[in-house]
Chain A
Amino acid sequence: MKYISPVILLCCIVLSSCKKTIDLYPESNLNTGTYYSNYEEVKAGLNSVYNSLYRPLYREWQFTELRSDNSLQGVAASNNSLNRDLSDLDMFIPATSQNAIYSYWQDAYYSIRDANIMLQKLGVTYDPGAGTINLNAIDIPISEADRKQYAGEALFIRAYQYFNLVRLFGGVFLVHKPISAAESKTINRSSTADIYKIILADLTAASGYLSSVKFAQIAAADKGKANAWAAKTLLGKVYLTLNRKGDAVTVLQDVITNSGFSLQPTFPAVFSITNELNSEILFAVRYKAGGLGLGSSFGNDFGPLNSGSTVINGSGLGWNTPSTDLDTAFIPADARRAVTISIYGTGTAAELYVRKFLTPVTITNDGESDWPVLRYADVLLMMAEAKGFIPESIGYINQVRTRSGLAVLPGTVNTVPLFEKALVDERRLEFAFENHRWYDLLRYNTTMTSITAEQVIKDYFAHEYLVHYSHYTTPVPTIASLQASVTSNKLLLPIPQHEIDTHTQLVVQQNPGY
């Protein structure tokens, strides 16, 4: 019996360590359960929300430039499945199961989830009924100012993703907090109005939470973060898209008057990698070269196909090939063409390519160029669009024109249609390949009287037919067949088939026309 006491002692030691045996957390990865417990960790969490901007942006051009009159799929007769998908998008006949559409969708919602996780940790909730953002009590030791700044940044990015989604797909699924797989099964598509409701709520709240110091006063360490001016500019764009021109004018005027942001003296200066985050950049998705995995792939994506390392190290994929329609729209005096488009090869082998984001790289897909999302030039041109055909608007357009070496608009621009055409053309050339064109065309359907997206694309097909679309094989499309595909239904992309098939408990309505 003398052994009993040590045995009991031993058992006690073992039993006391029990809970530790199975209360384990991963040791090689942080996890959402225990992370975000202090200021530094919230900051790191927020960095990842910015990082989540990369993936959707990687494909966004396929929906905003390729489908517009700016670019096309360069190898017309290619049987390569990726090229075929791109051609289908370009010609308004994408399959509902197309991989690029699903991937973009997945990546945009991934970004929303990442933002939602941060917002939840920061005690930020959205009330879908009232359309308001609320701040609730949290445990994380963080100052109220920091908390609001971080919440504002996450709200800004969530709004940005929803704004893109609603313009591309219409009423999408509204997810405003982290959800489980089971919860997702109870959610169906929301109306377009409900999506805009959360976008407006997020941006309104973000405009209030975020720092509103003037451009010159932004601390070096805060450069690149979303600020109140970026939120207001995006808010202005949302108002304009909703045709709430008065509201748009109010917020945009605020930006013009109080932000301290301004146009760069020259167009190339806007995109110079030695002049990043200049006074014109309200918000950009930032890239950084140097083998950190943070470089931009757009130089290699858009670089000319089979160019070897003559244009960009590691050669180019030739995606987003500029249309001749765009190329010929630049007049020789326009300083923007050299920044926007270039040409590789000569004669029949000549190949147009996007020059805008192409900076030298030492490693493939490791470019330095940031991707501008909101620029001050956009603020000016939106202002013109919101105010309509009045002299003040001509002034905004001229600010942008003269910066690139063009003359002021002639007095012959003296009717609403001529004004609208001048503004539309200006925006196209100013923002070519910055993922504006498609969204702009959609918006013109409501904000303008003489321009429709459908007609612009139909005219473009006719203009580009001989140089490009006639080169497709089996079967060769006709101008009429191309134009017939551009219906008002096809302005929206299809909801990815994956979502409709996976949603086993609810019937998901596909967009009409698919």
Chain B
Amino acid sequence: MKKSHCLLFMLLLLLGGTAMAQKKVVTGKVLNQATNEPLEGVNILADKQKGGTTTKADGTYSISVDTKTTTLIFSYVGFASQTVVLGDKIKFDIVMVPAATTNDEVVVIGYGTQKKSHLTGAITKYQNDRLEETPSSRLDQALQGKIAGVQIQNISSESGADTKVRVRGVGSIYAGAEPLVVVDGHPVPDGLSFVNMADVASVEVLKDAASAAIYGSRGASGVIIITTKSGKSNRPKFNVKFSVGSKEAYELYPMMTTTEYLNLLYYEAALKAKDPSVAPPTQNSTSTTAERGAYIIEQQLRHGQGTDWQREAIRTANVKNLQMSVSGGSSALRYFFSGGYQNDQGMMYHSEYERFNVRSKIDADLSKKVKFSLNLNPSYIKRERPSVNYIDFVRFQSYLPVYLDEELAAYVRQDPQWADVKAGDFAQARYFNGRVYNGVMPDGSMWVNSTAITPFNTANNTPKSVMETRAIISNDYRVLSSGDLTFNIIPGLDLKITGSAYVSYRTSIDFAKRNSNRAGEVNRGVYNNNLNIDLLNENTLTYKKQIKQHSINLLAGFTAQKTRTRDEQIIGTDFPSDNIQTANNALVIMPPTIDANGSLGGSYTLKNSVGLLSYLGRLTYDFKNRYLLSASIRADGSSMFAPGHKWGYFPSVSAGWVLSQEKFFEKISWISNLKLRGSYGASGNNRILPFAWIDLLYPANYPIGAGNGSSGAGFSPSREILANEGITWERTFQFNGGLDLALFKNAITIGFDIYQSKTDKLLLRQNTLAFSGAPFSWNNIGSLKNNGIELEITTNNIRNKNFKWTTSANIAHNRNEILELGSEPFFLNSGERSEQYINKVGGPLVQFFGYKTDGVWLSQQQITDAGLSTALPNGIALGGVKLVDLNGDKKIDDDDRTELGDPYPDFTWGLTNNFTYRNFDLSFMLQGVQGGSLVNGDINYQETRRYNSRYTDNRWVSPLFQGDGKTVYSTVGFNPMLTDYVIEDASYYALREVIVGYTLPDKLVKKTKLGSLRVYFSAQNLYFHNASGYRGINTEGRFTSAPFYSTPLVDGYQRGSFPIAKTFTFGIDLNF
């Protein structure tokens, strides 16, 4: 035995000797920790020898090393490098950790990039991981809750509807408060709505003014930079993603049927009969003849089967999404092509969102000195919008059927005026009016009535029939194309010239067939075409230089942008047939009209151009990677302002100190990174009406000449706006302090920011003395303040071979305050239902305004004891809202009104957890908003107060039966829209996303010759929690229609919101 051992040892030595001479081969596979997919192109270097290798498409590698080699270094852009010590092992499987948890990440900062470790401003990067797996139709929806300080609100659940995006609160009053969206370097106003999620590589948000200052006049509301995917020097990689799913309403309004409603009335009548303090109810005092008529129709003609009108509006909708891409290239030419199709049916019938998009991106190195890239991204979106508001269905009574069956049609025809009505026709309220109804009431009594009754006095058609006869369809064609050339002039100095064009064309048709809304109405088509051409030229010089431990980065640039718009509207009426819906058939084409407010109606075409010219510069400097400094300036010249007022200057400065690099920090090993940041900068806002600085002339003709005269052309200035030549930029100055901290070898990373911003020279539409010739004028007066904090934490809770758990959380708080309103103490505005909003110096931008209430007036005794007087209509009424005499003068009047809350949340937050176990992964995201109120306009509607059980349960009935003492009896008493009775808590939290995925093990994949295969289920809004006291069904919903809600001075109003969508999808993700 010993001999043999010895021999074996000798043999091994020999073999070892030959191995030393022939080198040994190390193999293995490299996986991406985030996705569990193989990583291709990972660089592998062995120490003490030249050359290396890269991983193949399936992530495998093979490298031969000589015996001197002790370590292998694995590196890949965007991932933390890893070093393995070679021992006897010749197989190493490596899991690369994305750089999100390290400090070597590269961040896009506007006209350049920067290492995250060197950032001095407040910029959050969202690295697209599996954004497209979230079942959202739009990028902005998918980003909800993922970035601290970026509040994204789904103000409508309609398919493809715009969200409301706010970065660090509202920094403007009249000018828009939407952030600037930059797609691959081109500012695109509707970027978030058309960029395909699957194409997105990363999303960066420039939140502080110092970071946004490089975008100058458009940066005040924050900047969202979207960078799309590019190809890499690989052999072609194909990717196919397909998902399919369905969407349904999370919750509907709890509406009573006509029968349930009458039962309630009779139940309450029975209660009243027991209350000696009120007169015993008679039949006529509890329900109207119309209500009883409706009850009889539902009970007798429809055999108790009421229509659930909400179900007639809402369906279980299908969603589909197919995305394909191929990328690759050689070292000199890289490409990325993608094509996608998405079909997102709306929950409401006749609501659909369909999108086709293609993207091709080519990067070429023309020579060592010249690089070229080309980006072409056409897209097409077709959207059908329902022609009827959801609220119209909610409010509709159940006794009416959608269609007439044989029996009902026969009944309707008994009335000679409806002799032509057939089974299968839409039922209309008028068919049942003016007839005699008799029958048994809910209490068993017989109601005998000989007069004709009108159960529902309306000439309007039912919402379903309007919806089916009027279509609103829009088509959006967009192309974003850009090309850039980069010249390397001398080492470190690059000149980049970019030309890009964004063209969007929207054509929409709103066609209502004959008799759509009501009988006798002519058909009507509204045709809108909007063309938007935006041309951009950017020229930047960058210079990078490293001198010992000093690193300098300089940027100088010049850009020119011109935007042309053309809007056309044609309104035609009275078409011979509903089947031909083009305007050439219209009998009448409406002429252009200008109403008293100066807005244009009828048929017209309009065109306009705006231009922006900018110079920009930036210096970034660091010393020893430890002391960081950055300063930038942008000068913007805009056509929006008068000569002499066109130019605005937006400087910024920021600095950082990486403490963890200091000597004295070396001992503290559990802190891997600590950086302090501070910045101060100015950014601007120019989103006002162009040409408010000059008096525009409008047609104002006059007949001149003999006889009856003939129309002589005349032009006169606007009646509304007195031009102010002096208007100029709004400017926001913001201070930002920040802290980046990483603990326990990056197991925990924390980002914290605190900021204060002040916007001055706010563009306000100010009241003007009418003797100057117009009632309004634009002026730079007013000032606003925003304060806030933001916190982002990512923790790697568990990280072992088979099981990984990471958590990332963010929370943000923002508070705004009006500092000045052009010497006015406040503005008071009314909404559509006369609810009031106040913009008051010292308070947040918008506050609700009206009377405080304290339950309802319970009894006559209570009213007498209170001893209040009032001149308000129904100011004091039994069972109505009990207004509080705030100033204690025993009189309820205007002076008792006060601020009733505001729409701004105290905190917005998001929490994402990712679990990976072997090939399974699970992630879920909770997102929420805490604090803030809304105005629930549903209460304004009698139907709501009658048929929605949230407004009738436990309501006051009589002094003896007071209900909960808080719920008003139907429409009794003072208008609740003017009180805090309609102000409700807008807090919520939701389980926004759940994604469960399974990646096929390599063995199985190899058999199928695929690169990788992943399947997943995802769900959205599995759980949605409303604050107590909220009586609606969609806390996020907001009503935003003009004229009342298009101004930022009014906010927080909702009514008849669409239900929240609960979505499930199943998807496959294939790479080969």
Q: Which residues of A contact B (CB under 8 A)?
A: 1, 3-4, 7, 10-11, 14-15, 17-18, 20-33, 35, 43-52, 102, 105-106, 109-110, 112-114, 116-117, 172-173, 175, 178-185, 187, 220-225, 273, 276-277, 286-289, 291-294, 368, 496, 498-499, 502-504
Looking at the assembled complex, report how far the CB atom of A8 sits from the nearest CB atom of chain B, in whole angstroms: 10
B353-374 interface bits toward A, Cβ cutoff 8 Å, 1 = contact, 0 = none: 0000000000000000110000
Contact of B771 (CB < 8 Å), options: A10, A105, A276, A368: A105
* Smallest Cβ-Cβ distance to A105: which chain B residue: B770
Residues of A within 8 A of B726 (CB): 180, 182
Nearest Cβ distance between residue B174 and chain A, in whole angstroms? 15
Interface residues in B697-748 by Cβ distance below 8 A to A read 697-698, 700-717, 719, 722-726
Point out which of B709, B713, B725, B773 has the most chain A C-beta atoms below 10 A from its C-beta: B773
Interfacial chain A residues near B701, Cβ < 8 Å: 47-48, 51, 292-294
The number of chain B residues with a CB under 8 A from chain A is: 72
Q: Which of B611, B646, B694, B715 has the most CB of A within 10 A?
A: B715
Given the known interface contacts A44-B714, A52-B716, the answer about A496 and B487 at a Cβ–Cβ threshold of 8 Å is: no
Q: Is the CB of A47 within 8 A of B771?
A: no
B679 at interface, CB cutoff 8 A: no
Q: Which residues of A contact B711 (CB under 8 A)?
A: 288, 292, 294
Contacting pair A181 B714 (CB below 8 A): no
Q: Would you call B823 an interface residue if the criterion is a C-beta within 8 Å of the partner chain's C-beta atoms?
A: yes
Which of B607, B694, B823 is close to A504, meaning CB atoms less than 8 Å apart?
B823
List chain B residues, Cβ under 8 A from A181: 722, 724, 766, 768-769, 772, 777, 779
Are A47 and B768 also in contact (CB < 8 A) when A21-B560, A276-B709 are?
no
**Are the CB atoms of B705 and A221 closer together than 8 Å?**
yes
Closest-by-CB residue of B relative to A495 is B771
Q: A47-B712, A51-B714, A293-B701 are in contact. Are A32 and B723 (CB under 8 A)?
A: yes
A32, A221, A222, A286, most chain B CB atoms within 10 A = A32
Asked if B700 and A51 make an inter-chain contact with CB atoms under 8 angstroms apart, the answer reads yes
CB-based contact B704/A221 at 8 Å: yes
11 A-B pairs (CB sep. < 8 Å): A3-B370, A27-B608, A32-B694, A32-B717, A50-B714, A105-B770, A181-B722, A181-B772, A289-B708, A294-B711, A496-B770
- Say yes or no: A225 contacts B769, CB within 8 Å: no
Interchain CB contact (< 8 A) of B611 among A22, A35, A172, A224: A22
Q: Are B696 and A498 in contact (CB under 8 A)?
A: no
Closest chain-A Cβ to B387's Cβ sits at a distance in Å of 29
In the assembled complex, the Cα of A112 lies from the Cα of B773 at a distance in Å of 7
Structural contact, A223 and B725, CB atoms closer than 8 A: no
Bound CA span A30–B539, Å: 34
Collect the chain B residues with CB atoms within 8 Å of residue A102's CB. 770
Could you tell me the distance in whole angstroms from the C-beta of B762 to the nearest C-beta in chain A? 16
Given contacts A15-B558, A21-B613, A223-B705, contact A110 B696 (CB under 8 A): no
List of A residues within 8 angstroms of B714 by Cβ = 44-51
With A47-B700, A184-B768, A276-B709 given, name 11 new contacts (CB 8 A). A3-B370, A14-B539, A14-B560, A32-B695, A47-B715, A52-B700, A109-B771, A180-B777, A184-B772, A273-B708, A293-B701
Chain B residues with CB below 8 A from A368, complex form: 708
Among candidates A43, A112, A117, A222, residue contacting B717 with C-beta atoms closer than 8 Å: A117
Give the distance in Å from the alpha carbon of A294 to the alpha carbon of B714 in the complex: 12
Inter-subunit contact A50/B769 (CB<8 Å): no
Q: Would you call B495 an interface residue if the criterion is a C-beta within 8 Å of the partner chain's C-beta atoms?
A: yes
Q: B546 in the interface, Cβ–Cβ < 8 Å?
A: no
Assess the A27–B609 pair: CB atoms within 8 A.
yes
- B691 and A26 contacting across the interface, CB-CB below 8 Å: yes
Q: Are A47 and B704 in contact (CB under 8 A)?
A: yes
In the complex, A291→B711 CA distance in Å? 11
Count of A-B residue pairs with CB < 8 Å = 225
Q: Which residues of A contact B978 (CB under 8 A)?
A: none
Within 8 A of A (CB), among B218-248: none
User: Contact at A499–B769, with CB atoms within 8 Å?
Assistant: yes
Q: B949 at the A/B interface (Cβ < 8 Å)?
A: no
Q: Which residue of B lies closest to A106 (CB)?
A: B770
Among B145-153, B158-166, B636-644, B958-966, the stretch in contact with A? B636-644
- For residues 631 through 663 of chain B, which have their beta carbon under 8 Å from a beta carbon of chain A? 637-639, 643, 646
B942 at the binding interface (Cβ < 8 Å):
no
User: Is B971 interfacial (CB 8 A cutoff)?
Assistant: no
B610 / chain A contacts, CB cutoff of 8 Å: 24
Q: Do residues B715 and A44 form an inter-chain contact, with CB atoms below 8 A?
A: yes
Asked whether B886 is an interface residue with its Cβ less than 8 Å from the other chain, the reply is: no
A47 CB contacts on chain B under 8 angstroms: 700-702, 704, 712-715
Q: Are B770 and A25 in contact (CB under 8 A)?
A: no
> With A110-B719, A288-B708 in contact, is A30–B777 under 8 Å at CB?
no
Nearest CB in chain A to that of B822: its residue: A504
Q: In whole angstroms, how far apart are the Cα atoms of A51 and B719 in the complex?
A: 12
> Within 8 Å of chain A (Cβ to Cβ): is B73?
no
What are the residues of chain A within 8 A of B774 when measuring CB–CB?
110, 113
| Minimum distance in angstroms from A195 CB to a CB of chain B | 12
Interface SS of B by simple majority: strand
A21 touches B639 (CB 8 A): yes
Closest to A45 in B: B715
A221 contacts which chain B residues (CB < 8 A)?
A: 704-706
Contact A288 B715 (CB under 8 A): no
Q: Find out whether the CB atom of A288 lies under 8 angstroms from the CB atom of B694.
A: no
How far apart are the CA atoms of A499 and B612 in the complex, in Å?
38
Known contacts A48-B716, A175-B772, A184-B768; A31/B695 CB under 8 A: yes
Report the bound CA distance from A105 to B767 in whole Å: 15
> If the complex has contacts A28-B608, A292-B711, are A287 and B697 also in contact, measured as CB distance less than 8 A?
no
Q: Considering the chains assembled together, what is the distance between the CA atoms of A105 and B772 in angstroms?
A: 11
B376 at interface, CB cutoff 8 A: no
Check A50 against B702 for contact (C-beta < 8 Å): yes
Do residues B560 and A30 form an inter-chain contact, with CB atoms below 8 A? no
Q: How far is the CA of A291 from the CA of B694 in the complex (A)?
A: 31
CA–CA, A185 and B779, complex, Å: 13
| Top 4 closest pairs, chain A to chain B, by CB | A113-B773, A47-B714, A48-B716, A48-B714
A42 to chain B, nearest CB (A): 11
Docked complex Cα distance between A475 and B612 (Å): 64
* In the bound complex, CA of A52 to CA of B489 (Å): 64
Give B517 Cβ to nearest chain A Cβ, in Å. Answer: 22
Chain B contacts for A498, CB-based, 8 A: 767, 770, 775
The listed residue (B608, B716, B769) touching A51 by CB distance below 8 A is B716
Task: Find out whether the CB atom of A51 lies under 8 angstroms from the CB atom of B702.
Answer: yes
Cβ contacts under 8 Å, B713 to chain A: 44, 47
CA distance A361 to B722 in the complex (A): 36
B580 within 8 A of A: no
Residues of B within 8 A of A7 (CB): 487, 495, 497
CB distance from B692 to the nearest CB of A (A): 11
CA distance in complex: A43, B713 (Å): 8
Checking B698, B705, B709 against A29 with a beta-carbon cut-off of 8 angstroms, the contacting residue is B698
Q: Do A48 and B560 have beta carbons less than 8 Å apart? A: no
Residues of A within 8 A of B608 (CB): 26-28
Q: How far does the Cβ of B707 sit from chain A's closest Cβ, in whole Å?
A: 7
Q: Contacts of A15 on B, CB cut-off 8 Å?
A: 558
Whether the Cβ atoms of A4 and B722 lie closer than 8 Å is: no
Nearest-CB distance from B82 to chain A (Å)?
41
Give Cα distance in the complex from A292 to B698, angstroms.
Answer: 15
Smallest Cβ distance from A453 to chain B, in angstroms? Answer: 26
Give the docked Cα–Cα distance between A192 and B88 (Å).
110
Provide the bound-state CA to CA distance between A292 and B716, in Å.
Answer: 17
Residues of A within 8 A of B719 (CB): 106, 110
Say whether B771 contacts A187, CB under 8 Å: yes
Closest-CB distance, B279 to chain A (whole angstroms): 27
B606 interface residue, CB < 8 Å from A? Answer: yes
CA distance A106 to B560 in the complex (A): 42
Residues of B within 8 A of A23 (CB): 639, 643
Residue of A nearest to B767 (CB): A502
B804 within 8 A of A: no
A18 near B771 with CB under 8 A, answer: no
Residue among B497, B771, B772 facing the most chain A CB atoms (10 A cut-off): B771
Instruction: Give Cα A133 to B414, complex, Å.
Output: 80
